[in-house]
A and B are shown apart, each in its own frame.
Chain A
Amino acid sequence: MTALDALLAEQRLRQRPMLVRAAGYAALVAAASVLLLGLSGWFLTAAAIAGLAGPVVAQGFNYMLPSAGIRLLAIVRTGARYGERLASHEAAFGALARVRPALFRAIAAAPVARALSFSTGEATARIVQDVGVIETRFAMASAPWGMAAAAVAGVGLTVLGGWAAAATLACLGTLLLVADRLATALEAPGRAVQRATGALKDELAAQAAAAAELRCYALEGWAAARIAERSETLGDAVEAQAAVLGWFELAQAVAIAVAAGAVVVLARGHGAAVMALAALAAAMTIDGAAPLVRSLAQRGAVREAEARLGALLDGGSLSSTRQLAVAWPSITFALADGPLLPGARVQLAGRSGAGKTRLVETLLGLRPGERGQVWFDDRDLVDIASDLRREIFGWVPQDAALLSGTVRDNLLLGCAQADEAALWQALHDAALDMRVHGLPQGLDSWIGENGARLSGGERRRLALARAYLRPASWLVLDEPSEGLDAATEEVVIARLAARLTRTRQGLLLVSHRSAFAAFCDQVVSLDVPGWALPGGPPRVSVGFPISAGAAAA
């Protein structure tokens, strides 16, 4: 049993009362529909025959019972359908409310390279869609029960017409076989849609990145045509999918027509009233299979979504072996002259592409590291669990990534226990307190997706405040001055200096800007002549401490 199966099985168990209720109601709906139509047909025909036989027979015809039955069945059907919808959706939402966080935990616990591969827009969109598909599966779990109840009720009524029952069952069986075939046929266009969507996005991304070149060489029409070509491939796949879905509808309608026709022929010997009853009951029996047929149409999508989510969950879970925490470690890079002592202010230097950000991400356990590159005190980086290593650092990432949420949400990520005063102090040190004071809801103002409502510089300063809040021994600032004007930068640096003196934290700085760099007393250079391996492992090669005097000069 895969991890996903286990998760879904657990949810099925939790939602069992709801699922059972949904199945019961579905059965009631289907059976009531068959009985309602059958009874109506019989009542009308029998009444007409009685009416034709003259007033005496008509007076003797028991109309009370069937007409009451019709009303009762109509009410039962309506009520049961309401109950069925409510129960099945309750089960689906209830299950989903647990599947989503479970998936999130599984992703977060996966090996870091794989976990972070999900954080691209495309992979994220996939997961969200797949989770949605799982929801439909829960909502449709009652479909087979409805179909079974319709079949039982249908046989119960059509058997009054002799062989009509057999014909009805034959039509029902054929419909299910055809629907099964169609569901298989639907898998290919379903996959084609996935593929074509991916190809279209790739093409779009490539052309959008080259917008300037396209504009210079008047290639926009050419690019649009290439994109349109991919779009047409997607269009073909979507249309093929719609065509197969159309066949489902045709199969259902033909099955109803043939069943009704066959029952009319087979049951005619039992009189018009029974025949009317059997014909309408047969039609409704087939109709009762409609939810099951619809869920069959989803089968391919459900399987693929489960396969993808299953692969995602199977990566195993992170077992954090709580080791001795490394509270205020020194950091030693391979080939460096000596360790970076706690409280040191270090600039990581190197040209673009030299791997400065890669090195920072390795320290933070956001990239797999290699043995023999970095040591914390005298322990190799790879021997310390990532989550423990992460506690050493307060980090401002290069892209200053923020959570979509409020200012407070983002700050509390740095330190969940921080009180109001600590939050404002951190904002002050990041020179963002005035700005947040000016927001309509202060700390609880919504900053939009990835902080879209803030400017680039404000995003960076919020990320800085978040890093300040972290009770860590080293601050890691990746391009902290990007997007800051000179005046703001000056304030930020002055307050950072005061803060570092107060907290005695160390500083690892990646920055091109001299104002920040002048603040450091040591430099670690990652430049190695002749070396540029984008995507390769980080290689820290030359580290040379410089004196504070030299840096200030």
Chain B
Amino acid sequence: MYSIPTQPDPVSVVLRLKSIVPPTVRLWPPTVLLLGDTVAGIAFAGGLAGAVVHVPAGLSAMLPWLALLVGAGCARGVCALLAARVGADAARRTKRTLRAALVTDLLARAPGGHATTGTLLATCVDEVEATDGYVARFLPARATAGLAPLLVIAAAALASPIAAAILVVTLIPFLAAMILAGGAAADESRRQFGAMSRLSGLFADRIRALPILLAFGGEQREAERLARASEEVARRTMRVLRVAFLSSGALEFFAALSVALVAVYAGFNVLGLLPFPVPEKLDLARAFFVLALAPEFYLPMRRLAAAYHDKQAAQTAVERFPDALFAPSTAPVAQRAPETAPRITLTDVAIAYAGTDTPAIRDFSLDIAPGTIVAVLGPSGSGKSSLLHLLLGLAPLSAGRVTVDGVALGEGVTLAPASAWVGQTPLIITGTLRANIALAWPAATAREIEHAARRAGLGPMLAVRGLDAPIDARGGGLSGGEIRRIALARALLKPSTVLLLDEPTAHLDPVAEAALIETIRTACRGRTVIIATHSAALAAIADRTVSLEPHA
């Protein structure tokens, strides 16, 4: 079953883009600051006009206008500074919410269960950061672009209604150019943005695949392919940019044209040489004011065009977010953990991860009596870990039924509250041995922690270094066996009725393995236990063994 490439349609991308800004994030502060910039721009024009007019009256008459000029100019800077800050703050809140949702999604998936875990990691960090400019700059610029020109028009109309009318009229070809640039050219440039990121992707992919390229002597060929692809994309990019720059050139041309029109109109008006009658006679102050104002009229729209790149970057990022992020979340179900070792029954179970064609497990049935130990054997990739993850809700139940003491597991109902876990890469945090063990059951007393540590075979370590022995996050100074024993101590500390072990003796030497197996045997007492392993020695402590056959 060949799946069609999952290219989200533009509509859903737009909706996704809209939905990433949480309702608690307010975008009006940066928008108001950008409007403030326009108001300051109007004041700047006023100050300049006033100063010019009052030159004959001397410096003291010019001073208030001069103050307005410099003050307004500085105010623009302050507005820009603050807009950058509050924009960054809004972006930060958005990214915080987004990342929290993505992390929840990430932690609800089986580690390494499928190919996308690495991609998800990049999504949680890089793709989230890529939305920054969209929230910080593009959205405020877009909100401002609708309002700020109206402010400028109003100010210009106070001085010269006709000059204001000229600005409005030049807006028509400007908008037409903008729509052209935003329609056809934007489509082109979106495709181009895609081509550029695919080229980056190709580059990244070939570096990732370097081991096989080297092994097959293909590095030269791929370097040439990369060179050809780069040249090709560069050539195509330039073609697109020619159009894109032409349309932005058109924007600029109309902006310049309108300034020139206003200048010429105002000049002829003050000269009294207009070839047609107009109902207004401008003086120098008004004429100069509208001239200085004219460029302000187009500034917000040009700012929006400059931030367009931020929008494209965000668009590309949201396309890569997992669909789950945009689906309504299911409320967690309150559940009770069984108080005695339960019976676990799997009937015709299949596990198929999203995005893969072949299930990791299918048609699997197993009945585990209360308090017994089952070892699940099979080569790596046969789905042993998936089976354990299924019981914890970290892998999807695609078909069949899982019951615990007759109660079906399902959406939000898992075996997790009853379970303890020992895997091959236990979580180790910076802190003390005590803190590491106590993670499993924060309510535990010091005595209980020590007891669990001893039962897990950490006695020798306690004797030398004590419960407060410092441990670093990489588990430096601890042997592989000691790290597993910390995980085992956690499992013993939690009053659980189910124990799940995923290759708990992998990468241990035979002596360490034999010692650990003894400890595991005692830890299994009174619990229903499933051990995923391919160690025959470990499987020997089980009451039953089952084999998993891999599927293609």
Contact = CB atoms under 8 A, between A and B. Distances in A.
A530 B508 CA distance: 9
B283 A48 contact: yes
B380 interface: yes
A131 B233 CA distance: 15
Q: Is the interface of B mostly helix, strand, loop or mixed?
A: helix
B312 to A, nearest CB: 14
Contact of A205 (B87, B121, B212): B121
Contacts of B87: 242
A470 B282 CA distance: 85
A131 B218 CA distance: 23
Given A105-B219, A529-B510, A401 B379 contact: no
Interface string B52-95: 11011001001000100111111011101111110111001001
B259 A40 contact: yes
Given A104-B222, A239-B88, A264-B51, A51 B81 contact: no
Contact of A414 (B216, B355, B487): B216
B273 A58 contact: yes
B96 interface: yes
Interface string B165-201: 0000000000000000000000000000000000011
A307 interface: no
A261 B552 contact: no
Interface stretch (A329-337, A420-428, A442-450, A538-546): A442-450
Contacts of B99: 227-228, 231
A219 B420 CA distance: 12
Contact of A74 (B200, B259, B416): B259
A419 interface: no
Contacts of B66: 261, 264-265
A512 B534 contact: yes
A414 B218 CA distance: 8
A213 B202 contact: no
Contact of B205 (A71, A223, A235, A449): A449
A365 interface: yes
A189 B51 CA distance: 42
A258 B76 CA distance: 12
Contact of B271 (A50, A101, A116, A257): A50
A128 B198 CA distance: 11
Nearest to B40: A253
- Best-buried of B126, B136, B210 by chain A (most CB within 10 Å): B210
Interface string B217-229: 1111111101100
Contacts of A204: 103, 106, 121, 124-125
B122 interface: yes
A107 B358 contact: no
Interface string A253-269: 11011101100110010
A115 to B, nearest CB: 6
B14 interface: no
A458 to B, nearest CB: 7
Interface string B448-476: 00000000000000000000000001000
Interface residues of A, number: 165
A235 B95 CA distance: 9
B210 A209 contact: no
A390 B215 contact: yes
Contacts of B426: 210, 213
A96 interface: yes
B252 A81 contact: yes
A365 B212 CA distance: 11
Contacts of A59: 273
A262 to B, nearest CB: 9
Interface stretch (A2-10, A150-158, A373-381, A482-490): A482-490
Interface in B93-116: 95-96, 99-100, 103-104, 106-112, 115
B203 interface: yes
Contacts of A98: 227, 230
- Best-buried of B5, B108, B393, B552 by chain A (most CB within 10 Å): B552
A272 B53 contact: yes
A250 B480 CA distance: 56
A316 interface: no
Nearest to B251: A78
Contacts of A271: 55
Given A209-B112, A534-B507, A404 B202 contact: yes
Nearest to B473: A206
Interface residues of B, number: 163
Contacts of A49: 284
B69 A257 contact: yes
Nearest to A55: B272
Interface stretch (A117-125, A140-148, A338-346, A497-505): A117-125
Given A74-B260, A401-B212, A404-B202, A224 B100 contact: yes
Contacts of A529: 510
Contacts of B245: 82, 85-86
Contact of B208 (A119, A224, A239, A254): A119
A90 interface: yes
A220 B476 CA distance: 25
B52 A390 contact: no
A212 B421 contact: yes
Interface stretch (B154-162, B261-269, B323-331): B261-269
- Best-buried of B107, B245, B266, B506 by chain A (most CB within 10 Å): B107
Contact of A216 (B205, B241, B256, B419): B419
A231 B96 contact: yes
A248 B524 CA distance: 65
B228 to A, nearest CB: 9
Given A63-B267, A97-B230, A208-B111, A121 B208 contact: yes
- Best-buried of B112, B394, B416, B425 by chain A (most CB within 10 Å): B416
A192 interface: no
A297 B245 CA distance: 24
A275 interface: yes
B482 to A, nearest CB: 14
Nearest to B77: A253
Contact of B206 (A67, A249, A403): A403
A405 B421 CA distance: 40
Contacts of B106: 204, 208, 211
B110 to A, nearest CB: 7
B381 interface: yes
B132 A116 contact: no
A480 to B, nearest CB: 11
Interface in B418-451: 419-421, 423, 425-427, 439-441
Interface string A463-484: 0001000100000000101111
B305 interface: no
Nearest to B380: A482
Contacts of B549: 485-486
Interface in B118-137: 118, 120-122, 124-126, 129, 132, 136
A112 B357 CA distance: 35
A217 B55 contact: no
Contacts of B96: 228, 231-232, 235
Interface string B232-257: 01100110011001101100110011
A209 B394 CA distance: 12
A536 interface: no
Nearest to A108: B219
B207 A257 contact: no
A247 to B, nearest CB: 7
Interface stretch (A162-170, A298-306, A391-399, A518-526): A391-399
13 contacts: A96-B234, A98-B227, A213-B490, A215-B421, A220-B107, A231-B99, A239-B85, A252-B77, A253-B80, A261-B73, A264-B66, A280-B48, A452-B115
Given A239-B88, A272-B284, 8 more contacts: A210-B111, A213-B427, A265-B66, A279-B51, A439-B2, A450-B209, A452-B355, A466-B216
Q: Which 9 A-B pairs have the closest CB atoms?
A: A257-B73, A253-B77, A457-B552, A242-B88, A246-B84, A48-B284, A210-B427, A97-B230, A74-B256
